[in-house]
Amino acid sequence: MSESPFHHLMPLCQLPARATGRICELTGDSEFCQRIREMGFGESVYVTKIAGNGTILCQLNGTRIGLSHDAARQILVERVGSR
């Protein structure tokens, strides 16, 4: 799947395992957005989901980050295919 103008947004928690998404939007309160932005979850960054249904393990720029389900729900991504 390549990037299309009709991108289909989904929360990070719904991304299938081993799929990669591009972060499009951070919802949630400003404090949360601020922190995850500072940790590198900025808009247009690529993130790969590694595993997890409840708590989610994802890979971002070579580091593994664990996210609570509710945190992952507030990160909206556009799927860009799997690596």
Partner 1 sequence: MAKAPVYAIVGNPNCGKSTLFNALTGLKQKVGNYPGVTVEKKTGTLYSQHGQPITIIDLPGAYSLAARSPDEAVTRDVLLGRREDTAQPDRVLCIVDATNLERNLYLVHQVLDLGRPVILILNMMDLAAQAGISIRVARLSQMLGIPVIPCEAVNGKGIIELKLAISRHDLPLSRHAWDIPAPIAPAVAELQASLVSNGGKAPLIARAEALLLLTDQDSVRVAGSAPLDAKTQEILRSWQSRWEAQGVDWAGTLVSSRYEAIGRLASEVAQSAKPSAQTLSDRIDAVVIHPLWGWVVLALVMTLLFFSIFKFAQAPMDWIGDGNAALAGWIRGLMPDGDLRNLLTDGVIGGVGTIVTFLPQILILFFFIGLLESTGYMARAAFIMDRLMGHVGLNGKSFIPLLSSYACAIPGIMATRTIEDPKDRLVTILVAPLMSCSARLPVYLLMIAALFPGPTYPIAAKVGIMVLMYALGTIGAFGFAWLFKRTLLRGKPPLMIMELPPYRLPRIKDVLLQMTERAGLFLKNAGTVILAISIVLWLLAAYPKSPAGATATEQLAHSFAGRAGHLLEPVIKPIGFDWHIGIGLISSFAAREVFVSTMGVVFSAESGGEDTTSLRHALNAARWPDGRVLFTPLVCITLMVFYVFAMQCMSTIAVVRRETNSWRWPLFQTAYMTGAAWIICFIVYQSGTALGF
For partner 1, the closer of residues 8 and 83 by Cβ is: 83
Using CB under 8 A as the binding rule, whether residue 16 contacts partner 1 is answered as no
Q: DSSP secondary structure string, 1-69?
A: ----SS--EEEGGGSPTTEEEEEEEE-S-HHHHHHHHHTT--TT-EEEEEE-SSSEEEEETTEEEEE-H
For partner 1, the closer of residues 8 and 30 by Cβ is: 30
Using CB under 8 A as the binding rule, whether residue 42 contacts partner 1 is answered as yes
Using CB under 8 A as the binding rule, whether residue 51 contacts partner 1 is answered as yes
Least distance from partner 1 to the Cβ atom of residue 50, Å: 7
Distance CA 77, CA 75 (A): 6
Least distance from partner 1 to the Cβ atom of residue 26, Å: 8
